[in-house]
Amino acid sequence: MNIRIPDTLTTMPSAVQTLPERLRRSSSRTRLIVGIAAAVIVVFLAYRFFAGPSAPPRAPAPPVMVSAIAMAEVPVVEHTIGTVISNATVQVTARVNGQLQKAYFKEGQMVHAGDPLFQIDPRPYQATYDNAVASLTAAKAKAERFARLRAQKAIAPQDADDARAAYLEAQATAQAARLNLDYTTIKSPIDGKTGPIMIQPGNQITASAGASNGTTGASAITLVVISQLQPIKVSFSLPQADLPRIQARQMAHNLSVDVDSHGATAAPLSAPVDFVSNAVNGATGTIELRATFPNTDNVLVPGQLVDVGVKLDLLKHALVVPHDAVNVGPQGRYVYVVRDGNAQLVNVNVLNDDGKVAAIAGKLRPREHVITDGQLRVVPGAPVSITGQHAGAALR
């Protein structure tokens, strides 16, 4: 194929033709350089003439995944971490001194109120009680005899009164001896589950300080700890900003809590909130709530951490999109809506987001499609290529 080059391109440029006479008479090396430069200029002009102006290549539309906007009722659920606490925890201690002879239970066993737990050697206390009973019998007989003599005016009234007082004193001594004898058998004060045995049988134990008046002193030696498991409580805290909604739901008797212990087969547990603290924690800015669970299967254990969800409100006729459709920018949160094949940026207000579904408010309509994947390559107002659609919430 022969290409005809126009005469205008083969003709030397005027700048070359009008070179000064002194340059034309220069050495052959200079003439060679000038010729090469002229040839380059000719080639460049020829390329621009034949190639002509070319438009830059257009980038393909980025691929995206979309989901339809739905309208639904969205529960507002506050999620937090809760701690399982026992309704009652008792540190069992001895109330009399002696040698620990026997334990009637196994560690970790469920016990009931009144069940025997430990046996302290009762023989010294049995002897003391028998002696007190004998003294009581003698004092009673003397008091009765002196009472008869007083009626006959055979003795002074003071003697009869002293005999009566001695009888009452002996009676109190016998009762105290009987109590100490009963205390040699240590019984469970509550229903619950036992922990490890702290003092093994065979050891000599000392009664806790203040045992004589029914109090527990600082020097008490714990034999075992019993924790009540049925029922059991879950304690958790919510931000004080939720307090108005908490109070409104509580007044309507509609404040409940769902607890997930992440058991392999255990389903989430639900119970009404039966305690709201009377003060906000100044250090954390939260308020404590509690709920009581029957715990018949002993799934919950004191000290266990559980996931707690509290339903505080219900949003009706809310626009619902997947969580991944909501983006965060300098102007706040926004979504990309696909309209006529182009991505349009729409600012939204997030009313609730549970990590899976977000309830939003903005200039949107149900059944419009929002981009859920591929937003990083999207340019507002530019076309996009829809490669698939995620399942969204059902329209209501």
- Give 271-296 pLDDT, tens digit per residue: 999 999 999 999 999 999 999 999 99
Do 169 and 207 sit in the same domain of this protein? no
48 versus 369: which is more confidently predicted?
369
Do 98 and 144 sit in the same domain of this protein? no
Do 114 and 131 sit in the same domain of this protein? no
Does residue 302 surpass a pLDDT of 70? yes
Do 362 and 265 sit in the same domain of this protein? no
Q: Is residue 58 part of a domain?
A: no
Contact 82, 260 (CB under 8 A): no
For residue 21, the enclosing domain spans 7-51
Tokens, residue 185:
């058998």
Domain boundary among 175, 198, 225: 225
Do 219 and 242 sit in the same domain of this protein? no
Note the pLDDT tens digit of each residue in 115-144.
999 999 999 999 999 999 999 999 999 999
Per-residue pLDDT at 16: 47
Spell out the residues 6+ positions from residue 104 whose beta carbon is closer than 8 angstroms to its own: 115, 116, 117, 118, 119
Domain count for the chain, please give it. Answer: 5
Per-residue pLDDT at 300: 92
Per-residue pLDDT at 394: 46
28 versus 250: which is more confidently predicted?
250
Do 219 and 104 sit in the same domain of this protein? yes
Do 131 and 161 sit in the same domain of this protein? yes
Do 178 and 129 sit in the same domain of this protein? yes
Per-residue pLDDT at 268: 83
Residue 195 CA: distances (Å) to CA of 92, 220, 222, 307: 11, 17, 11, 25
Do 203 and 233 sit in the same domain of this protein? no
Q: Is residue 2 part of a domain?
A: no
Per-residue pLDDT at 216: 46
Does residue 62 surpass a pLDDT of 80? yes
Do 12 and 33 sit in the same domain of this protein? yes
Lowest mean pLDDT among 172-176, 315-319, 351-355: 351-355
Lowest mean pLDDT among 55-59, 306-310, 352-356: 55-59
Which CATH number characterizes residue 296's domain?
A: 2.40.30.170
Note the pLDDT tens digit of each residue in 75-118.
888 889 999 999 999 999 999 999 999 999 999 999 999 999 99
Do 104 and 217 sit in the same domain of this protein? yes
> Rounded mean pLDDT of the chain?
86
Q: Is residue 57 part of a domain?
A: no
Q: Is residue 343 part of a domain?
A: yes
Q: Is residue 158 part of a domain?
A: yes
Per-residue pLDDT at 35: 74
Q: Taking residues 250-263, what's their average pLDDT?
A: 86
Paired strand residues for 271: 257
Which CATH number characterizes residue 145's domain?
A: 1.10.287.470
Does residue 172 surpass a pLDDT of 70? yes
Do 209 and 292 sit in the same domain of this protein? no
Domain boundary among 225, 244, 279: 225
Per-residue pLDDT at 274: 92
Which CATH number characterizes residue 195's domain?
A: 2.40.50
